[in-house]
């Protein structure tokens, strides 16, 4: 039983990075596909489309930092906490990256038709990023309270 709890702890340590990376890949792919479509339909502004398609990549960075924060020798007391914090933070980062990619794709599609709203169209993506930052900060704060 103790080995199972420790295995869950190790899963929790690496979950934020892995799930954040999966979400970032999916979000960047969603936004990247919209950017490619927009480049086919517009004569200029291609750089900003590519730049926007990279916005969901920040979630993997948050996941890496949480992983390093959780990375410590595990005991039966700390493993369950590491599992809970890591898995839930990772799921939050995954969902945030995917939905940020969808917001970015919508911003790209809107900006290709009406370039003057480009900046305003990024507001939803920035709001979604804010929720990823909340999950990141809460995971850091909670991980500080895990028993050594």
Q: 2-144 adopts what CATH topology?
A: 1.20.120
CA atoms within 13 A on the CB side of 75: 5
Q: In angstroms, rounded to a whole number, what is the distance separating the alpha carbons of residues 54 and 102?
A: 12
Q: In angstroms, rounded to a whole number, what is the distance separating the alpha carbons of residues 38 and 48?
A: 11
Residue 66: the pLDDT is 98
Kind plus residue range of the DSSP H or E element containing 43: none
> Where along the chain do its domains lie?
2-144
* Share above pLDDT 90 across residues of the chain, in percent, rounded to a whole number: 85
The most confident of 1-10, 14-23, 105-114, by mean pLDDT: 14-23
Question: pTM (2 decimals)?
Answer: 0.93
Q: pLDDT by residue (tens digit) across 79-119?
A: 999 999 999 999 999 999 999 999 999 999 999 889 899 88
């Amino acid at each position: 039983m103790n080995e199972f709890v420790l295995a869950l702890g190790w899963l929790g340590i690496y979950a934020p990075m892995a799930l954040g990376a999966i979400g970032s890949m999916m979000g960047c792919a969603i936004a990247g596909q919209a950017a490619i479509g927009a480049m086919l339909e517009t004569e200029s502004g291609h750089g900003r489309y590519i730049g926007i398609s990279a916005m969901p990549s920040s979630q993997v960075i948050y996941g890496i930092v949480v992983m390093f924060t959780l990375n410590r020798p595990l005991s039966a007391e700390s493993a369950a906490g590491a599992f809970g914090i890591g898995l839930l933070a990772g799921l939050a980062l995954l969902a945030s990256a995917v939905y940020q990619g969808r917001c970015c794709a919508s911003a790209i599609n809107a900006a290709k038709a009406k370039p003057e709203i480009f900046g305003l169209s990024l507001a939803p993506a920035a709001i979604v990023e804010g929720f990823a930052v909340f999950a990141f900060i809460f995971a850091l704060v909670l991980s500080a309270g895990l028993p050594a």
